[in-house]
Amino acid sequence: MSSSNLTFDILKKALIILVIITLIVIAYFSNKSMRNESYNFSANGVVHSIDWKSKNHALPLIVIKINNKYKRFSSTGIILTKDTVKVGDQFQKEKASRFCLINEQKTKCVE
């Protein structure tokens, strides 16, 4: 094997490793951004509908009705379950909080 082939193989492997590291970093920050989105979400209304495995990567989707308008709450950071929130429940979440008031009961709703 010539030295130019050896150098080319080393560069090829280095490029593959660099691409993999770049993808991992992008995935990490993308996931963190999605979690911050749920942390910064705010709403005060009534739960209109819930899809626990929505078409958006099977993420939970909670639709909240606020004065005849609808606000969508969907994120990987949501930790609510079928036992903690139901359609018709009063839902309140303040921005920059990990907790929700569901029927006036304080519940952790975001990781």
Instruction: Sketch the domain layout of the chain as residue ranges.
Output: 1-111
Q: Minimal CA–CA distance to 74: which of 64, 82, 66?
A: 64
> For the residues 70-96, what does the mean pLDDT come to?
93
Percentage helix, strand, coil, to 5, in the chain?
35, 30, 35
- The pLDDT, as a whole number, for residue 33 is 57
Among 3-7, 22-26, 30-34, the range scoring the smallest mean pLDDT is 30-34
Confidence of residue 66 (pLDDT cuts 50, 70, 90): very high
- The pLDDT, as a whole number, for residue 81 is 93
> For the residues 2-14, what does the mean pLDDT come to?
81
> For the residues 49-72, what does the mean pLDDT come to?
92
> For the residues 52-70, what does the mean pLDDT come to?
91
Q: Is the pLDDT of residue 108 over 60?
A: yes
Sorted by sequence, the CB contacts under 8 Å of residue 37 that are 6+ apart come out as 75, 77
- The pLDDT, as a whole number, for residue 48 is 97
- The pLDDT, as a whole number, for residue 31 is 64
8 Å CB contact between 90 and 52: no
Structure tokens at 67: 């004065």
